[in-house]
Chains A and B, each alone.
Chain A
């Protein structure tokens, strides 16, 4: 049982480049989400999804796109990378569509540096 798998673990981008962070879960979880973690700012919610075909914005959505075509996958796209997007990104999922109702399971993280 793999849980939540994120790829890549590390990535360096130049300003203006685009890329996709991949997230997959094999637990049949309804709820999936993306957070970014920055020193002094804690964990901030970027986007989330309560099921296939349904996505919504979190606290800091600007500069990011998501889609949820299957229950298992929830990719995060950076459209035109900026140095302010240098961060550690975490994907998390839970069984219930309400993230606070059940244990939230996190991936190992993706460390992104934008030069």
Chain B
């Protein structure tokens, strides 16, 4: 059964800092992994879907990497801004359950001006 863990649960950084969010998964037999952003009181917005063949995927100041052998994915945010403050969730498929996405509990990021 796939389990997804995100540490830390919360992170506070000053504006302008580069930062890394971590995601670990137990079943490495995955073809892709997704990162989402959730603003308070809102739904989830897809940020990046990274395929196992890609190893990295970039969108603007965001870069996600995937290392299946270690069961880890990271989301790198460059030059953080107060508008980046949100909860970031990663999700990996569980092929024992038909490929359904299993979500981590998220990292709540606060970027201070």
* A→B interface (CB under 8 Å): 4, 33, 40, 42-43, 45, 48, 56, 58, 90, 92, 98-109
Contacts and interface: CB of A to CB of B under 8 A. Distances in A.
B45 interface: yes
A110 B24 CA distance: 29
B58 interface: no
Contacts of A42: 103-106
A101 B99 contact: yes
A102 B36 CA distance: 13
A106 B99 contact: no
A43 B42 CA distance: 13
Interface residues of B, number: 26
B13 interface: no
Given A99-B99, A104-B101, A109 B42 contact: yes
Contact of B99 (A43, A56, A100, A103): A100
Interface in B16-37: 30-32, 34, 36
Nearest to B98: A98
Contact of B44 (A56, A99, A106): A106
A103 B32 CA distance: 10
16 contacts: A42-B104, A42-B105, A42-B106, A48-B100, A90-B43, A98-B99, A99-B99, A99-B101, A100-B91, A100-B93, A100-B95, A102-B49, A104-B44, A106-B43, A107-B43, A108-B42
Nearest to B6: A42
Contacts of A92: 44
Contacts of A98: 93, 98-99
